A and B are shown apart, each in its own frame.
Chain A
Amino acid sequence: MKVSYFPGCTLNTTGKGFDIAVRDSAATIGLELVELPEWNCCGATYPLIIDNMLELAAPAHILVAARDEGSTVTTACTTCYNVLKRTNRFIREHEEERDRINAFIEADYDGEVEVMDILHLLRDRVGFDAVADKVQKPLTDLKVASYYGCMVLRPPDEVAYDDPDHPQSLDDLMAALGATPVDFAHKNECCGAYLAVKDPRITREMVYTILRSAQAAGAEAVATNCPLCQFNLDKQQAEMRKIYAGYQPIPVFYFSQLMGLALDLDASDYGWDRHYIDALPLLKKRGYWNGGSGV
Chain B
Amino acid sequence: MRVRLSAESVHSELVHRIEEYSGQDLMACYQCGKCAAGCPVAFAMDMLPSQVIRFAQLGLVDRLLDSKTIWLCAACQACYTRCPKGVDLSRIMEALREIVMYEKGSHIDYDDIPPEELMEWPQQAFIGGFRKYTV
With A45-B132, A197-B108, A197-B133 as given contacts, are A192 and B80 in contact (CB-CB < 8 Å)?
no
Range for the number of chain B residues in contact with chain A: 35 or more
Establish whether residues A164 and B128, one from each chain, have CB atoms under 8 Å apart when the complex forms: no
Residues from chain A with a CB closer than 8 A to the CB of B129 are 194-195, 197-198
B41-A228 in contact (CB<8A): no
CB of B44 closer than 8 Å to a CB of A: yes
- Complex CA–CA separation, A198 to B129 (angstroms): 8
Q: How far is the CB of A117 from chain B (nearest CB, A)?
A: 15
Contacting A at CB under 8 A, from B57-97, are 71-72, 74-78, 80-81, 88, 90-91, 94-95
Given contacts A194-B129, A227-B122, contact A189 B72 (CB under 8 A): no
Q: How far is the CA of A111 from the CA of B33 in the complex (A)?
A: 37
A-B contact count (CB 8 A): 128
Q: How many Å lie between the Cα of A14 and that of B126 in the bound state? A: 13
Question: What secondary structure prevails in chain A residues at the interface with B?
Answer: loop
Q: How far is the CA of A14 from the CA of B44 in the complex (A)?
A: 29
Closest to B20 in A: A50
**Residue among A10, A43, A50, A196 making CB contact with B23, cutoff 8 Å:** A50
Q: Which residues in chain A, 1-31, are within 8 Å of chain B measured between CB atoms? A: 8-10, 13-15
Minimal Cβ-Cβ distance residue in A for B73 = A195
* Contact pattern, A 169-187, Cβ under 8 Å of B = 1, otherwise 0: 0000000000000000000
- Does A162 reach chain B (CB closer than 8 Å)? no
| Cβ-based interface call for A126 (8 A) | no
Number of interface residues, chain A, beta carbon within 8 A: 42
In angstroms, how far is the closest chain A Cβ from the Cβ of B128? Answer: 4
Q: Which of A148-156, A217-225, A278-286 contacts B (4 or more CB under 8 A)?
A: A148-156
Which residues of the other chain, A, contact B78 by a CB distance below 8 angstroms? 150, 154, 189-190
B123 touching A44, Cβ below 8 Å: yes
Nearest-neighbour CB distance to chain A for B120, whole angstroms, equals: 7
In this assembly, does B1 line the interface, its C-beta being within 8 Å of a C-beta of chain A?
A: no
A194 touches B125 (CB 8 A): yes
A49 and B94: CB pair below 8 A? yes
Task: Kindly state the separation between the CA atoms of A192 and B76 in the bound complex, as whole angstroms.
Answer: 8
Nearest Cβ on chain B to A150's Cβ, whole angstroms: 4
B131 at the interface (CB under 8 A from A): yes
Closest to A14 in B: B122
Q: Judge whether A41 is part of the interface by a CB distance below 8 angstroms.
A: yes
Q: Is the CB of A192 within 8 A of B74?
A: yes
Q: A14-B123, A192-B41 are in contact. Are A154 and B128 (CB under 8 A)?
A: no
Q: Given A41-B127, A193-B125, A228-B124, A205 and B76 touching (CB < 8 A)?
A: no
Taking a contact as CB atoms under 8 Å apart, the answer to whether B128 and A44 are in contact is yes
Taking a contact as CB atoms under 8 Å apart, the answer to whether B123 and A9 are in contact is yes
Interface residue B40 (Cβ < 8 Å from any Cβ of A): yes
A79 within 8 A of B: yes
Q: Name the A residues within 8 Å of B98 (CB-CB).
A: 49
Question: Is A48 in contact with chain B by the CB < 8 A criterion?
Answer: yes
Digitize A205-233: 1 where CB-to-B-CB distance is under 8 Å, 0 elsewhere: 11001000000000000000001100100
Cross-chain contact A193 with B76 (CB below 8 angstroms): yes
Q: Among the interface residues B77, B91, B122, which one has the most CB atoms of the partner chain A within 10 A?
A: B122
What is the CB-to-nearest-CB distance from B124 to chain A, in angstroms, rounded to a whole number?
4
When the two chains form their complex, are residues A194 and B124 in contact, meaning their CB atoms are under 8 A apart? yes
- Tell me if B21 is interfacial: C-beta within 8 Å of chain A: yes
Cα distance, A75 to B108, chains bound together (Å): 30
Instruction: Say yes or no: A14 contacts B74, CB within 8 Å.
Output: no
Q: Are B81 and A195 in contact (CB under 8 A)?
A: no
- Contact between B123 and A189 (Cβ–Cβ < 8 Å)? no
Produce 1/0 per residue, A67-79, CB < 8 A to B.
Answer: 0000000000101
Taking A44-B124, A50-B22, A194-B124 as known contacts, 18 extra A-B pairs with beta carbons closer than 8 A to each other, sorted by chain A number, are A9-B123, A13-B122, A41-B127, A44-B127, A48-B94, A50-B20, A50-B21, A51-B21, A55-B131, A79-B128, A150-B76, A154-B77, A154-B78, A155-B77, A190-B40, A194-B132, A205-B44, A231-B121
Q: List 11 A-B contacts (CB under 8 A).
A: A9-B123, A41-B123, A153-B81, A189-B40, A189-B76, A190-B40, A190-B76, A193-B75, A197-B113, A197-B121, A209-B40
